[in-house]
């Protein structure tokens, strides 16, 4: 397993990878090295991972957004070059074939909020806070915020939050449909792990195909999306895991899926 300067990667259970921002003294703010580390992680995914938990170290922040201390005094060219790296990370998050669960343990501001929104779903500690604060800095969300937040909350709520840069709570995020579950801070990772293990116990090819079908289908009209779903389904019929699943059901035992 690779050691990263700004990330902590662990395996809390079989087939589960936990990825954590690991700059707690800086509220896990994203610097250029974080971008490089995330790019490497998502282009070298653990081969046996069936679910990824994305969180932050410490109890103050999931990720406070871009590191403004590093950015202070940056030339326009250097800023754009750094953001190009962050843009690549955004697409890596969106394209990750493995279920990606954000476990937001504290502040998720700016790019941190955007990265959480790029995950498949979000569990949040009751102490977590969210905000897209870019308008206060003379920029705008550029890591998917203007696209993923309206898809999660609806355009009117998203416009209010992005235009005002106002923070909101985990409870509000859950009520609006952005967060799936609000957890006590002390059980956040255990609760997220429990769901990740349920995912990992299922046939990994089935989960990957379902994720692909959902993500692609949302960009299509219904009839085209149904055809995409059917094609994804057909690819599973010939898999060894499909045969194993039916066999295990009839033998009244837990299936032993291999991802084949």
Per CATH, the number for 7-200 is: 3.90.226.10
pLDDT value of position 105 = 98
Q: Distance (Å, rounded) from C-alpha 125 to C-alpha 27?
A: 16
pLDDT value of position 150 = 98
What is the SS3 assignment for 52?
Answer: strand
| Residuewise pLDDT in 10s, the chain (260 residues) | 789 999 999 999 999 999 999 999 999 999 999 999 999 999 999 999 999 999 999 999 999 999 999 999 999 999 999 999 999 999 999 999 999 999 999 999 999 999 999 999 999 999 999 999 999 999 999 999 999 999 999 999 999 999 999 999 999 999 999 999 999 999 999 999 999 999 999 999 999 999 999 999 999 999 999 999 999 999 999 999 999 999 999 999 999 999 99
Give the sign of the dihedral formed by CA 50, CA 54, CA 58, CA 60: negative
pLDDT value of position 44 = 97
pLDDT value of position 2 = 82
Side-chain-side CA neighbours of residue 234 (13 Å) = 6
Per CATH, the number for 203-250 is: 1.10.12.10
Domain boundaries, the chain: 7-200, 203-250
The percent helix, strand, coil of the chain (3-state, each to 5) is 50, 15, 30
Our measurement of the distance from residue 87's CA atom to the centroid of its chain's CA atoms, rounded to an integer in Å, reads 15
* Catalytic annotation, residues: 114, 134
Q: Distance (Å, rounded) from C-alpha 245 to C-alpha 254?
A: 8
């Amino acid at each position: 397993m690779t050691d990263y300067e700004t990330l902590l990667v662990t395996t809390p259970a079989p087939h589960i990878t936990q990825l954590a921002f690991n700059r707690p003294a800086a509220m896990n703010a994203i610097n250029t090295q974080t971008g490089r580390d995330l790019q490497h992680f998502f282009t070298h995914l653990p081969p046996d991972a069936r679910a990824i938990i994305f969180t932050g170290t410490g109890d103050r922040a999931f990720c406070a957004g871009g590191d403004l201390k590093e950015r202070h005094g940056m030339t326009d060219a250097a800023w754009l070059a750094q953001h190009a790296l962050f843009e690549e990370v955004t697409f890596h998050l969106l394209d990750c074939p493995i279920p990606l669960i954000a476990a937001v343990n504290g502040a998720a501001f700016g790019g941190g909020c955007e990265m959480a929104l790029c995950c498949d779903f979000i569990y949040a500690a009751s102490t977590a806070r969210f905000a897209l604060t870019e308008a206060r800095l003379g920029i705008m969300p550029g890591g998917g915020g203007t696209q993923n937040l309206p898809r999660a909350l609806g355009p009117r709520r998203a416009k209010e939050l992005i235009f005002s840069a106002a923070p909101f709570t985990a409870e509000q995020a859950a009520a609006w449909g952005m967060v799936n579950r609000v957890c006590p801070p002390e059980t956040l990772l255990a609760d997220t792990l429990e769901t990740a293990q349920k995912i990992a116990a299922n046939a990994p090819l089935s989960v990957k195909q379902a994720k692909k079908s959902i993500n692609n289908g949302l960009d299509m009209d219904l009839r085209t999306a149904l055809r995409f779903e059917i094609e994804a389904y057909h690819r599973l019929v010939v898999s060894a895991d499909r045969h194993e699943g039916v066999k295990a059901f009839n033998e009244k035992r837990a299936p032993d899926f291999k991802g084949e």
